[in-house]
Amino acid sequence: MNAQPPASHFINGGYVEDTAGTPIDVIYPASGEKIAKVYSATPAIVDQALAAAQAAQKSWARTSGTERGRVLRRAADLIRARNRELSTLETLDTGKPLQETLVADATSGADALEYFGGLAGALTGEHISLGTDFVYTIREPLGVCVGIGAWNYPTQIACWKAAPALACGNAIVFKPSETTPLCALKIAEILVEAGLPAGLYNVVQGLGDVGSALVSDPRVDKISLTGSVPTGKKVYAAAGAGVKHVTMELGGKSPLIVFDDANLEDAVGGAMLGNFYSSGQVCSNGTRVFVQNGILPGFLEQLSARTEAIRLGDPLDEATQMGPLVSEAQMDKVLSYIEIGKAEGARLVTGGNRIEGRNGFYLEPTVFADVTDDMRIAREEIFGPVMSVLSFSDEAEAITRANATEFGLSAGVFTRDLTRAHRVIAELEAGSCWINTYNLAPVEAPFGGVKQSGVGRENSKAAIEHYSQLKSVYVAMGPVEAPY
C-alpha cells in the first residue's frame, strides 16, 4: 500500500500543498522506515482552512438535520466498505496490529458517523410555556470547531470529533498529531465523496505551533483536544483567553480494582486488555491494577503466563497480537519508566526489554509487582505496555488509594458481588468506568474524564451539548407593561 497522500492538507473539498512548511516524515513504527512525507501548515494554510470553514458553515447550518445526517451515514457506509484499506493505513500510521485496527478504528469512526448522523434530524430546542407568554429555544451550532488529535487513534479521533460537530451544523478544521498525519486525510476524502459540501471538514498538518495558531484564531468558536494533560492546560488557557468552548480528552493513570471474589480469568484478561491493547497506548488504560491480597499470587502467576504468550510481531500479519510503539521517542520514554520502576524497587515480573533483532520500536509487555502508591510508575502516565500491580486488603483502602491521583479518566472493578461493584464505582473519581470488563467505549456511552483528565464528554447524546448552544427566545402575547 502506498501511504503517501496526494498532498499534506485537505481544504475546501480538495488536497492542498504548501512546501514552504516544515517537512514531517511519516515513519512506519514496525520498521523505522519513512513511508510518507507531509509539510506542516504555514500561516497561509491555516488561514485558508479557517476561511473555508467559516464560509461553508452558515449554509450547512441551514441544511435540515435529516439531510446532514444522511451525508454522515453515507460516509459511515463508505468507511465500512473500505474498512480493510483504512485499517491498513491506520496500521501503517500507528504500528497497531491489523488484528486490532480491523475492529477498533475505522469501524469506531463509522459508528460515530452513523450514530450522530441518526441524531442530526432529532436535534431540537423546546417550548416552555409561561401561561400566556412563552419561551422557545433554538439549538444552534457553535460555528467553526477545531479538533486536535493524539497519535494513538488517528481515525477514531478524527471521526469522534467530526461526527457530532457536523451533525450539529458546525464546520471543523482538524489537526492530526504530527506523528500520525495520514488517516484523517482519508476521512476527509470519504466525507466529500459522501456528499459533504466543501469547506466543512478540513485537515491541516503540523506540530503544536499549528495547533496553537488554530486555537487562538478569533474565527474559532470551539476546540476539542485529545492529548496529554500538559498540552490540555495550554490549550484550555488559550481557549479561555478567547472565551471559547472546549472539550478536553486528556491523560490518565486509571485504577482497576480486583476483589478476591472476582472471576480470576476475566480479571486477568481485563487487566491485560487495559494495559497491552494498542501496545498500552490508550488514555483510559487501567495502569494501576489493585489486587486484593489473598488472590495476588494466583493473579500474578496467570498474568505472567498469559503475558509471555502474547504474539508480538509484524502488525500487518493478522495473527499478531501486539505491534511496536508508535515512535522511537515513545519507546525511549517507556524504557526510561521501566528503569525508573526498577530503581524505585518495584519487582519486574515479566518483560522490561526492547525486542532485539527488530528495527521497529518493539517492547516486551511488562508487569511490575510490589508497586507502591508513591512510586513514579504508579503516579505518572507512561503510555506504553507497562502494568503496575499493587496489593490491598479492604474495600475502603482500595477506594482511597484509587482516588489519590490528579487524574480521573477511568476506573474498573472486578467482583462477583454486584452490590459492592456499584458501591465502589459510585465512590471512584473517574468519568468512564467499567464493571467486570475494561476499556469498551461504544459510541452510545459518554466518554471523558474528571479532575485533570478532562472537561466535557465525547460520544453519546451528551456530545451534542458540547457542539451546540441554545438560543432562548421570549415571546410576549400581550402589551408591554412599562412603568414609565
Q: Which residues make up the interface to ligand NAD (CB under 6 A)?
A: 148-152, 175, 177-178, 207-208, 211-212, 215, 226-228, 231, 234-235, 249-252, 283, 381, 383, 409, 449, 454
Closest to ligand NAD by CB, 13 or 206? 206
Q: Catalytic one among 189, 381, 395, 458?
A: 458
- 90 catalytic residue (yes or no): no
Cα–Cα distance for residue pair 354/366, rounded to 1 Å:
10
| Paired strand residues for 71 | none
Please work out, in degrees rounded to the nearest 5, the angle formed at the alpha carbon of residue 203 by the alpha carbons of 197 and 204.
Answer: 140
Q: Phi and psi of 342, rounded to 5°?
A: -65, -45
Q: How far apart are CA 449 and CA 269, in angstroms?
A: 24
Distance between CA 9 and CA 6 in Å, rounded?
9
Give the active site residue among 90, 100, 114, 249.
249
CB closer to ligand NAD out of 285 and 307: 285
| Contact criterion met (CB below 8 Å) for 454 and 250 | yes
CB 157 to ligand NAD: min, Å = 7
Please report, for the chain, how many H helices and E strands are present, in that order. Answer: 16, 20
- Contact by Cβ (8 Å): 223, 231: no
Choice between 234 and 461, CB closer to ligand NAD = 234
Nearby residues of 81 by Cβ (< 8 Å), 6 or more positions away: none
Residue written as grid cell 486528556: 250
> Which is closer to ligand NAD, CB of 65 or CB of 251?
251
Considering the complex, what minimum distance in angstroms separates the CB of residue 117 from ligand NAD? Answer: 21
Which residue number has the CB closest to ligand NAD? Answer: 211
All cell numbers assigned to 34: 519513512
- Closer to ligand NAD by Cβ: residue 5 or 154: 154
In the bound state with ligand NAD, the residue whose beta carbon lies nearer, of 246 and 338, is 246
Concatenated DSSP letters of 35-83: EEEEEPPPHHHHHHHHHHHHHHHHHHHHS-HHHHHHHHHHHHHHHHHTH
- Judge contact between 345 and 369, C-beta under 8 A: no
Beta-carbon contacts of 464 under 8 Å, excluding residues fewer than 6 positions away, are 119, 123, 139, 164, 167, 168
Output the smallest distance, CB 217 to ligand NAD, in A: 11
Other Cβ atoms less than 10 A from the Cβ of 133: the count is 12
Element (H, E) at 414: strand 410-414
* Residue 301 is a catalytic residue: no
Question: To the nearest whole angstrom, how small is the minimum distance from the Cβ of residue 99 to ligand NAD?
Answer: 20
Cell of 169: 451544523
Least separation, in Å, of the C-beta of 326 and ligand NAD?
A: 9
Let me know if 126 is a catalytic residue. Answer: no
| Residue 432 CB, nearest approach to ligand NAD (Å) | 9
380 is catalytic: no
Q: Which residue of the set 283, 364, 381, 433 is catalytic? A: 283
| Residue 100 CB contacts under 8 Å (≥ 6 apart), including other chains | 277, 278
Complex with ligand NAD: residue 295 or 334, whichever CB lies closer? 334
In the bound complex, what is the minimum distance in angstroms from residue 277's beta carbon to ligand NAD? 13
Q: Which residues contact 387 (CB under 8 A, 6 or more apart)?
A: 271, 272, 275, 276, 280, 287, 289, 303, 365, 366, 367, 368
Min dist. Cβ of residue 481 to ligand NAD (A) = 51
**Catalytic, out of 100, 114, 159, 161:** 161
Q: Kindly state the cell numbers that stand for 54.
A: 467559516
Cβ of residue 274: shortest distance to ligand NAD, in angstroms?
13
Query: b or e along 39-74 (b: 16 or more beta carbons within 10 Å of the residue's beta carbon)?
Result: bbbbeebbebbbbbbbebbeebbeeebeebbbbbbb
Of 234, 291, 216, the closest CA to residue 43 belongs to 216
Nearer to ligand NAD, 333 or 420 (CB): 333
Q: Read off φ and ψ for residue 72, nearest 5 degrees.
A: -65, -40
Residue 105 or 395 with smaller CB distance to ligand NAD = 105
Catalytic residues: 161, 249, 283, 458
